Amino acid sequence: MNRFTVVVVGLLLVPLAATSVPRAPADDGGAPRNVWKVIRLVERAQDFAVQDAAPPGPSLGDRLVFTSNLFDEQGRQVGHDGADCVTVRLDPTAPPAEQQIVQCTVTVALPDGQITVQGLAQGLEGRFAVTGGTGAYSTARGEAHVVDTAPLVQADITITLYR
């Protein structure tokens, strides 16, 4: 497997425990945000495919498509996800695990609806914008924080939704 596969899967693999938190400070120093729900998931890779665009090796247009199972903190499967990530920039001056910058679109399917996230990723940790949802998440907005814990195997995801 090439570095693209390791980095992207590592960025997006992720426990589901939903808790309500009344308020959280704004990252931009502004007024506190109203946090509606925090969802924690453990993502375990199920299946993936890599399309290596020419030239061989890391290059613009390389694509990773994957699906993972999602588990809560007690180890129960609570959903699944699907993602499409494409390399949009190369930074040869960065450490090897951070040389590829990818644009990812991910859909998280949970029993009460779906949440979509999107953003640029580089390295083994990233933040993505929550771009929408369905069902209980039809007015979703917020962000997803993803931390790779085992490349190509598992990641921790925290989705924070705001009112």
For 89-132, the pLDDT digits (tens) are 999 999 988 999 999 999 999 999 999 999 999 989 999 999 99
pLDDT given at position 11 = 39
Query: Residue 128: which of 142, 148, 114 has the closest Cα?
Result: 142
pLDDT band at 31 (very low <50, low <70, confident <90, very high): low
pLDDT given at position 41 = 98
Tokens standing for residue 53: 């665009």
- pLDDT exceeds cutoff 70 at 10: no
pLDDT given at position 14 = 31
Query: Residue 64: which of 121, 132, 117 has the closest Cα?
Result: 121
For the chain, the structural domain boundaries read: 3-162
Cβ atoms 102, 117 nearer than 8 A: no
- pLDDT exceeds cutoff 60 at 12: no
Conformation bin of residue 123: beta by default, left when phi > 0, alpha when psi is -120 to 50: left
Superfamily of 3-162 according to CATH: Allene oxide cyclase-like (2.40.480.10)
d(CA 47, CA 118): 20
d(CA 141, CA 152): 28
Question: What's the predicted TM-score (pTM) here?
Answer: 0.80
